[in-house]
Amino acid sequence: MIRKDVASLRVPPNLADHDAERRTFTWAAARAHLDGLPGGGLNIAHEAVHRHAHGPLADHVAFRFLGGEAPRDVTYSELSSLSNRFACVLRGLGIGRGDRLFVLTGRIPELYTAVLGGLTNGTVVSPLFAAFGPEPIATRLTLGSAAVLVTTTSQYRRKIARIRADVPTLRHVLVVDDDGSGPIPGTLELGPVMAEASDDVALAATGPEEMALLHFTSGTTGRPKGAIHVHEAAVTHWSTGRFALDLHPDDVFWCTADPGWVTGTSYGIIAPLLHGVTSIVDAGDFDARRWYGVLAEHRVSVWYTAPTAIRMLMKAGPELAHAHSYPALRFIASVGEPLNPSAVWWGAEVLGLPIHDNYWQTETGGIMIANTPALDIKPGSMGKPLPGVEAAIVRRDANGEVRIVDAPDEEGILALRRGWPSMMRGYLDDEERYRACFAGDWYLTGDLATRDADGWFWFVGRADDVIKSAGHLIGPFEVESALMEHPAVAEAGVIGKPDELVGEVVKAFVLLREGFTPGEALRLEILAHARRRLGAAVAPKEVEFVDTLPRTRSGKIMRRLLKARELGLAEGDTSTLESGG
Ligand code: PRX
């Protein structure tokens, strides 16, 4: 246990007494910290940017972009103006409220302008991960009925050109020339159209329940699910920014997540802007030496990162960390996958600050369970439910009824009582899968966890076959489908193979078609095929040829059995494995 002494914290935390605040907190009171719009409306871009642009924060830096030749600071008033210009561009193209805007770029300023400009225009925004290959991109553009896409010339030439015809709803593509390759027929260059656009546009008077963001996530089977988030979600972003990330007005905040995943949007864009703080955006990939440099040089005070990154820093050795000092750093949080207790201690020893684990999902839109600054840390625990969040461990009884498990330390499904503002409002065009997530008032996360006698929650594992690699959620079905498009592959079963550094790596078991013989050349060819189609973020790292794949009686591949075999575990009672597959 790491004991906290609130009086000794350098900055008094926003949440001085976690349990006491939980008793008095109301979402209505949190909502009162936002402006809202006349007539009961709410618009995330107004709350995050435009209201600050006309107040004392107008000249405060909203984003410091790193990765170009020199850092580029964008103030709240500049960000507001750029977002308005982008909204004007959309309007000029006939893109309006409810239309779908997708963004596929690295972490460049245009991504942030497009997201905020889209929201300003009442357009639904869906950021995609730039390391996706053409196949996951095409799937998401299609499912989301993309009307407009913002991307770069290099992404366009490598991925979009070959799939564009498959997405008939896609009316416009705006490109940022990132490789000097010049105009591409059928696209508009973003720079020149932004230069011509006016920044005097009326904010879309969106309602709180109007769709704002679409985040795709993966399940065990079938196509990716588009989690629908509404403008009201900003209330959770505000309160979790306050309580779980402890944002204070002078903070320099660094969320290392990419906006192509939900953390990078909720906490890489919205929450810090709602609080009017300065955020660091680093376009580069992980690099231990550079990351320490960023923390020190830019005087990051609150840092939100992920277990894989922390493990990589641990591996790089303490000397690199000690090459700098971090007098501004006062709070470190982590999310997305289990955080090893040793990583919590490593933070305390090497950086002088323990790492605060927190838990949430694409579906929950914001942080639900957290180790907050004043709360003692039990390393290995995700913390306690935040103010406004009620969590429980539940199990289905013999009749299929969901029952709350009251006894401490009993494993069950982690459930959250509906009612927080950033809960998804549905899976796009998939009412059935959405409904299956609920039992009465309880949203079932699909994660297995325990709660101890003191009310701390502990992650046990996922109840399904979804893979978590470097914090990124990967659906095995999407990978299997891409593998099966290779002419040699008859069938494939894909699992997450435990890995010390990235949590799990994607491993595929492949059954070849008649006439193909296993061999190194074919293995490499299949790996390359998957990488081309799926992109580095999703493609398997390992392919193993097998003679048979274990199946249920109904023919479904039993991934859990593959995993048990991979781990050398007892295969257990296969009749129960059948229903889990
Ligand atoms: O399995 C849990 C794991 O990540 C899943 C959610 O992933 P995603 O929808 O991509 O959302 C990412 C934003 C957090 C969860 O269902 N997960 C998340 N946080 C933790 C975690 N597993 C263990 N410990 C955590 N703190």
List the domains of the chain with CATH numbers.
6-451 (3.40.50.12780), 465-567 (3.30.300.30)
Euclidean distance between CA atoms 86 and 63, whole angstroms: 17
Distance 41 CA to ligand 1 centre (A): 31
Mutate-to-test residue for ligand 1 from 367, 437, 444, 468, highest number of ligand atoms within 8 A of CB: 468
Euclidean distance between CA atoms 532 and 575, whole angstroms: 37
**Residue corresponding to tokens 């320099």:** 252
State the DSSP string of 162-210: HHGGG-TT--EEEEE-SSS----TT-EEHHHHHHHS-S--PPP---TTS
**Exposure on the CB side of residue 312, measured as CA atoms within 13 A:** 17
Q: Is 361 in the pocket of ligand 1 (CB under 6 A)?
A: yes
Distance 361 CA to ligand 1 centre (A): 5
Nearest to 471 by CA among 255, 152, 237, 238: 255
Contact between 472 and 429 under an 8 Å Cβ cutoff? The reply is: no
Q: Is 334 in the pocket of ligand 1 (CB under 6 A)?
A: no
Q: Is 263 in the pocket of ligand 1 (CB under 6 A)?
A: yes
Contact between 375 and 354 under an 8 Å Cβ cutoff? The reply is: no
Q: What pLDDT is attached to residue 554? A: 83
Nearest to 107 by CA among 176, 188, 203, 9: 176
Mutate-to-test residue for ligand 1 from 311, 356, 360, highest number of ligand atoms within 8 A of CB: 360
Distance 438 CA to ligand 1 centre (A): 18
Q: How far is CA 461 from CA 405, 449, 498, 506, 563, in A?
A: 17, 7, 12, 17, 14
Euclidean distance between CA atoms 500 and 338, whole angstroms: 11
Euclidean distance between CA atoms 89 and 176, whole angstroms: 14
Euclidean distance between CA atoms 227 and 220, whole angstroms: 15
Q: What pLDDT is attached to residue 570? A: 74
Per the document, the length of the chain is 581
Longest dimension (CA), the chain: 72
Which residues in 372-418 belong to E strands, given as ranges? 384-385, 391-396, 402-404, 412-417
Q: What pLDDT is attached to residue 580? A: 35
Helix (H, G, I), strand (E, B) or coil at 296: helix
Euclidean distance between CA atoms 493 and 549, whole angstroms: 7
Which long-range contacts (C-beta less than 8 Å, at least 24 apart) are formed by 524-527?
525/486, 525/488, 526/483, 526/486, 526/488, 526/489
Q: Is 465 in the pocket of ligand 1 (CB under 6 A)?
A: no
Euclidean distance between CA atoms 24 and 474, whole angstroms: 38
Distance 359 CA to ligand 1 centre (A): 6
Mutate-to-test residue for ligand 1 from 335, 367, 422, highest number of ligand atoms within 8 A of CB: 335
Q: Is 370 in the pocket of ligand 1 (CB under 6 A)?
A: no
Atom of ligand 1 nearest to the CA of 466: 1
Alpha helix locations (H) across 372-474? Answer: 431-435
**Residue corresponding to tokens 């059948």:** 578
Q: Is 362 in the pocket of ligand 1 (CB under 6 A)?
A: yes
Atom of ligand 1 nearest to the CA of 445: 16
Phi-psi region of 494 (alpha: psi -120 to 50; beta: other; left: phi over 0): beta
Q: Is 557 in the pocket of ligand 1 (CB under 6 A)?
A: no
Atom of ligand 1 nearest to the CA of 462: 1
Q: What pLDDT is attached to residue 579? A: 39
Distance 445 CA to ligand 1 centre (A): 10
Q: What pLDDT is attached to residue 577? A: 45
Distance 366 CA to ligand 1 centre (A): 11
Enter the tokens of residue 49. Answer: 């940017």
Euclidean distance between CA atoms 537 and 68, whole angstroms: 23
∠ CA 182-183-188 to the nearest 5 degrees? 135
Element (H, E) at 100: strand 100-104
**Exposure on the CB side of residue 285, measured as CA atoms within 13 A:** 7
Helices 134-143 and 520-534, packing angle to 10 deg? 40
* Protein residue with least CA distance to atom 5, ligand 1: 361
Euclidean distance between CA atoms 303 and 253, whole angstroms: 6
Q: Is 382 in the pocket of ligand 1 (CB under 6 A)?
A: yes
CA 471, 61, 203, 177 torsion: positive or negative?
negative
Per-residue pLDDT of the chain (581 residues; tens, 9 = 90+): 999 999 989 999 999 999 999 999 999 999 999 999 999 999 999 999 999 999 999 999 999 999 988 999 999 999 999 999 999 999 999 999 999 999 999 999 999 999 999 999 999 999 999 999 999 999 999 999 999 999 999 999 999 999 999 999 999 999 999 999 889 999 999 999 999 999 999 999 999 999 999 999 998 888 999 999 999 999 999 999 999 999 999 999 999 999 999 999 999 999 999 999 999 999 999 999 999 999 999 999 999 999 999 999 999 999 999 999 999 999 999 999 999 999 999 999 999 999 999 999 999 999 999 999 999 999 999 999 999 999 999 999 888 899 999 999 999 999 999 999 999 999 999 999 999 999 999 999 999 999 999 999 999 999 999 999 999 999 999 999 999 999 999 999 999 999 999 999 999 999 999 999 999 999 999 999 999 999 999 999 999 999 999 998 888 899 999 999 999 887 765 554 443 33
Distance 294 CA to ligand 1 centre (A): 26
Beta-carbon contacts of residue 511 (< 8 Å; ≥ 6 apart): 489, 490, 491, 492, 545, 546, 547, 548, 549
Q: Is 305 in the pocket of ligand 1 (CB under 6 A)?
A: no
State the DSSP string of 492-536: EEEEEEEETTTEEEEEEEEEEPTT----HHHHHHHHHHHHHHH-T
Atom of ligand 1 nearest to the CA of 357: 26
CA 178, 179, 185, 189 torsion: positive or negative?
positive
Euclidean distance between CA atoms 298 and 71, whole angstroms: 10
Distance 418 CA to ligand 1 centre (A): 18
